[in-house]
Each structure stands twice: as C-alpha cells, then as structure tokens.
A and B are shown apart, each in its own frame.
Chain A
Amino acid sequence: MRLICIVKFVPDVDNFKYDYENNVLIRENVRLTLNPDDACAVAFALKVKTQCPKTHIEVVTMAPISVKPHMEDLLRLGIDRGTIISDRLYAGSDTYATSLVLGRYLSSQTYDVILSGTHAIDGDTSHIPAQLGDLLGLNQMSGIIKVDEVALSQTLAVFEVETEDMIATYEMRLPAILSLTRESSYKLPYIRRQDMDLDVTSRLKILSNESLGFEADEVGIKGSPTKVAKTYTKEFNQKERTVIGTDDEGITLVYDFLKEKGFI
C-alpha cells in the first residue's frame, strides 16, 4: 500500500507563557515540534508498515526549509520518502492557498490513503484535510481514534471516530483522507540509537514553486482569501479579590458570600 502523511511543524504552544498582569503572550524561545495529531498519523502509518513491510510511506509538508532536521528525524524512523514543499512565494498562505499547493502536489502522486491529523495546535482550523478532500475528489473524516489495520486494504478502510456523544465505526472506500486525533493511541517510536546519525538525504526531496508552477497571485498572501488583520491578547477583567484561608473565618466568609448571592 502507498500511504502519504501530510504534516505540519508547529510552535510548541504549551510552552507559551501568558502574562496576565500585562496581557502579553510570550512566544519567544519556543521550538518547533511535529503537530501532535499529525504525529499520530505518522505513527499509524509506521504501524501498518511494521505489519506489512512493503508499505511505502511518504511524509509531505509545506514549510520553510528550516524544518529539514525534523523531517530527517522522521525519515530515521523508517519513513520511505520525505517531501518539503517550500518557496518564498508560499509565505503567508492561509488554509485555502496552502490546500491549493498541497493539492497540486498530491494530485501528481499515487496513493491508497492520505493520512493527516485533525487539527493543528497553532491554527486549529482543521481546514486542510477537508479542503484537500474537495480538491482531490476524495472523502475525508476527522476525529479518528482507531483504524482497523487488519481490515485495511487498497480499497477499504474501517475506522472509529469519537465525537461528543458517541463512538461510531465507519467503512470508507479508498482512496480517501483519514484524519487522526491525538486521542488515538498511536505513538511515534524513538529513533533507534544506531540510526541517530543515519544519512537520509537521498530520501528527502525539497520542491519549490518551480515544480508546482503557481502564479504569484494564486498563493501566499496574495492568493489567500482570508488575512489576519489584527491579533488581540486576551483581556481579562481582573477582580478586586479577597484572599482568605480554610479556617473558620475564611469558610464563614465564603458561606456568607454564597448565601448573599442566593446560592445557598
């Protein structure tokens, strides 16, 4: 089987700190990491390959070339092919423009399944897998927590999706796009010690717009129908707060407060 994983490298937002006093988000000194949902998609692909060594896995990302070391690490896990699509022309692309770029590349590839994450921890739009579905004429489902590896064939996939109120099992004709979530149990392995310095350059491809042939106004900022006009740091109304302890006095104060407001 041929599997293609589309991934994104994102800032590690968990390490952003928020300064409530000054209403400032501190984003400095935060490294890039593989988006957690996407890591599950790659982990699932590797699991399939463990069971079926002839499986061919390609990981594709649209990113600045600086993600090269991250891609090399993925290749060291046993991914067959890594593709970085990178061009200054693509900078500032919103999800629409990004989908056009990825879509054009994917339309020239052969695959049985396209795997992805459901949402990215930075943008969190969940647009790209669905948009690619429309562009490539494929069905797509998000929120996948489990894919049945035994039932997976070149024509069919069986998987479980978890939503708010239920867990549903679907059967879908392939090729299609399956978007996993970090709620699934697929975890990336660690790179084996003997592979830590493996030279994987022959398996990494870097493509520029020369290969895809977009006009400047079709991609990047010019080609994006949506644009960030402004960012707002969250304003929180700080309150005049009373600080007390769990002694009698404190408890009484809370009790009186609740009684006064009608909660008791």
Chain B
Amino acid sequence: MKSCLIYIDHKEIQNSIDLLEVARQMFQDEPYETTGVEFGNQDVTPIEGFDYLIQVHHPKIKLYDQVAVTDVMVQIQEANAYDCILIPATYYGRILAPRLSMHLGVGLVADVTAIGHYNNDLEMIRPAFSGRIMAGIVSRSQSPIMMSIRQGVFHYEDQNNKVTKTMKYVPTQVKDGGISCLSVKKKEQIYDIRESDVLVSGGGGVVKSFHHLEKLATKLGGQVSASRKIVDQGLATRSIQVGQSGKTVSPKLYIAIGIYGSIQHVEGLKNVPHMISVNINRDAPICSLSDIVVEGDAVAFIDGLMKKIEENEGTVL
C-alpha cells in the first residue's frame, strides 16, 4: 500500500490538512494511507482525515530552525520510507522542502497547483514565469516523490470520519542550526480575504480612490482586496493582495475595479462564479473574464450603486 507523509505547518493547519486532497488525486483508485506530522502541541485546530498522526516532541526544537526540522523529517522518512512527502508552500515549507529533498537525494516540484497524469507518469503542474505559464513536471521514478503545494488551491472534504492513530515521536538527537529568534512583531492582523464570499478589489486604475472601495465592500457584506500595483504603492498590505505573489481566492463575487487583469493577478482567482469589472477600458484583459463590464469611472460606479442600494433598502418584500 502506498504511503504519503504530509507536513503540517503549525501556522497553516487547515491548508496543510487540505493536502490530503492532493494525495487523493495522486493515488486515485490505488489504496494508500496518509500520515500527518506535526511539531509541538497543536491543540488549536483538530487535525482530522489522516490515518496516522505523528506528533514530534522535543524541548530543543525551534520551528524556525530548518536545520533541526529537516533532520527530524529525515529521521522519520528513514524509519518509514514513505512513497511521497507533501509540504504546504508556506514560508517554512518552502525552506524545509528543498533542504529535505536534497538530503534525501530526490527531486522536488515547488508550488504545485494541479495534479495530472501524463503517459502513466504523475504530472505535477505549477506556475512558471511568475504565473504567466503553467509547467507540467514529471519526476524520474524515485522515492519519495516530493512536492510543495500552493495554499488555497486544493480542498479536502472529509468523507470517511477516519479515526486517526496518533503517535508521539521524541527524537533522540536534535541538530542545532545556530539560530535564535530575538523578537517577533506581529503584523496588524486584518481579515483573511480567502474567507470572504464577496471581494471588492482595486487595481492600478484606482490608486487615487482606493479608499472608496471599503464602503461598497461593507454594503455587500464583503471585504476589500487589491492587485499588486496597489500594494506596491503602499496603499494596502500584501496580506490582501490577490495574485501569484499574493493569495489565491475563490469568492462567489469578485468586483474588479480599475484592475487591468495581468495573468499574475488572474492566477489568484480560482473558481469565481460571478465577476464584475469596472474599467475605463472595456478591452482590459480582465473584462474578457467578467459577466458584466462597467465601462466608466470607478467612483461614479461606486457612488451610483451605493445610492441605488440605499434607496431600495427600505423596501421589505
């Protein structure tokens, strides 16, 4: 039976659990079992869906010390010989995965966004050229197959109500990578745009009126997001950026205001059923992807729509 090891990043637990969907797509009808590995005590989010869960405990392990974490992962792999290792492409995951794959002497595909099968080979599909093209990568037959997986793309639906067998692993030795954390400053936690059903998104065309978007977003029960241009101008933080170097989102409604629609931006939109674009240029690429194209000024649109909504608010059907 094939076996799959999934690394659970303590900062992105749900995103890590979603990697179970990657395993499901990889193995298809072949029987397989999954093992999650988490470092430390994560009582915060329940970890479900795995056949096994390894909890690594050691007082000396610092999660930011990738020398230490890699070494423990090597120990676990050498003890169990998993057929594949999946790691979420989080900040830490993107350092751990290449270290681990180099140590194990196997190839690694980064930032996978789709799984395919190419001539009986597993095909790992990922964006290249900053999201402008997709590349389908195959790995020489080697074990373990290793991938880092882009967040927010795969979603796991627990169908079996599996009972997970939990095991503790206490490494006898922990490597010291010579790193210590002097301070941590948490960034102002705004909202997570991935959780919003409605996003009112601003781009380079609304640099001067970006603040107008908020009232429309609030009215529609949604949030404001932004393209890279707005973030680069310092008008919004990268945490609300949609796109290749930002987040991948799947809102039910995406209103793109003053957004050109470069591939790197559109790369961040996945399965969005309804899209409205507002642009002074009806031929901007984003317009080809929209249900409705409003050709005109953004502020005129927002004010007009707000007025219409407020006028009709009193009406109770």
Contacts and interface: CB of A to CB of B under 8 A. Distances in A.
Interface in A12-31: 13, 16, 18, 20-21, 25, 27
A254 interface: yes
Interface string B122-141: 01010111101111111110
Q: What bracket does the count of chain A residues touching chain B fall in?
A: 35 or more
A127 to B, nearest CB: 4
Contact of A139 (B138, B178, B266): B178
Given A166-B185, A170-B182, A246 B99 contact: no
Contacts of A21: 288
Given A13-B130, A16-B132, A168-B181, A241 B292 contact: yes
Interface stretch (A59-67, A187-195, A256-264): A256-264
Contacts of B212: none
A238 B312 CA distance: 32
Interface residues of B, number: 88
A39 to B, nearest CB: 16
Contacts of A225: 106-107, 139-140, 142
B285 A20 contact: yes
Nearest to A225: B107
A180 to B, nearest CB: 14
The listed residue with most A CB atoms (<10 A of its CB), out of B91, B177, B276, B307, is B91
A96 B102 contact: yes
A136 B232 CA distance: 36
Given A25-B133, A229-B136, A130 B293 contact: no
Contact of B95 (A27, A142, A226): A142
A165 interface: yes
A247 B220 CA distance: 20
Interface in B88-125: 90-91, 94-103, 106-111, 118, 121, 123, 125
Nearest to B263: A18
B129 A121 contact: yes
A228 B137 contact: yes
Interface stretch (B63-71, B155-163, B201-209): B63-71
A123 interface: yes
B128 A226 contact: no
Interface in B265-317: 266-267, 274-276, 282, 285, 287-297, 300-301, 304-305, 307-309, 312
Contacts of B291: 239-242, 257
Contact of A164 (B91, B132, B198, B297): B91
B133 A243 contact: no
A225 B143 CA distance: 11
B290 A169 contact: no
Contacts of B296: 245-246, 250
A168 B184 contact: yes
B305 A124 contact: no
Interface stretch (A50-58, A171-179, A199-207): A171-179
B187 A130 contact: no
A106 B221 CA distance: 55
Interface of B: 11, 64-67, 70, 90-91, 94-103, 106-111, 118, 121, 123, 125, 127-130, 132-140, 142, 177-187, 189, 198, 220-221, 239, 252-253, 262-263, 266-267, 274-276, 282, 285, 287-297, 300-301, 304-305, 307-309, 312
Given A25-B263, A130-B99, 18 more contacts: A134-B100, A164-B91, A165-B186, A167-B184, A170-B182, A172-B177, A228-B136, A229-B138, A230-B135, A232-B133, A239-B289, A245-B296, A246-B297, A250-B294, A253-B292, A255-B312, A264-B220, A264-B309
22 contacts: A18-B262, A20-B288, A25-B132, A130-B96, A134-B98, A135-B102, A225-B107, A225-B140, A228-B137, A229-B136, A230-B123, A232-B134, A234-B266, A238-B289, A245-B295, A246-B297, A250-B304, A251-B307, A258-B253, A261-B274, A263-B198, A264-B220
